[in-house]
Amino acid sequence: MKTESSFLKPLDTIQEVETPPFLLTRIHQRIEAIKANQISPKLAWGLAVSFSFLLIMNMVILNGNRKEKHENNLVESLHISTNNDLYK
């Protein structure tokens, strides 16, 4: 009489095999390759801080230029003299 899973009996004959010996070397090579492509956290932070600093400096300078331009426009429109010489 055929038991419920007698058709799966051939699966019992599958044998365990050894891993090829060169696999560990290949794994190490892949790990090294990944490490070589990674940016260290220190470098990443350094780059982030430098970039932020540059961005802020840029914004400060641009803001300063804008303020100066606005003041100049105001001075011109109101015909205000910017020097104290009485007899120019």
Return the beta strands (E) in 5-86 as ranges. Answer: none
- Closest CB to another protein among residues 19, 40: 19
- Smallest distance, another protein to C-beta of residue 30, A: 5
- Closest CB to another protein among residues 30, 67: 30
**What percent of the chain is helix, strand and coil (3-state, nearest 5)?**
70, 0, 30
- Residues at the site binding another protein, with contacts judged by CB under 8 A: 4-5, 7-8, 10-20, 23-24, 26-27, 30-31, 34
- Closest CB to another protein among residues 34, 78: 34
- Using the Cα atoms of residue 8, residue 10, residue 13 and residue 18 in order, give the sign of their dihedral: negative
- For residue 74, what are the contacts with CB-CB under 8 A and spacing of at least 6? 80
- Smallest distance, another protein to C-beta of residue 19, A: 4
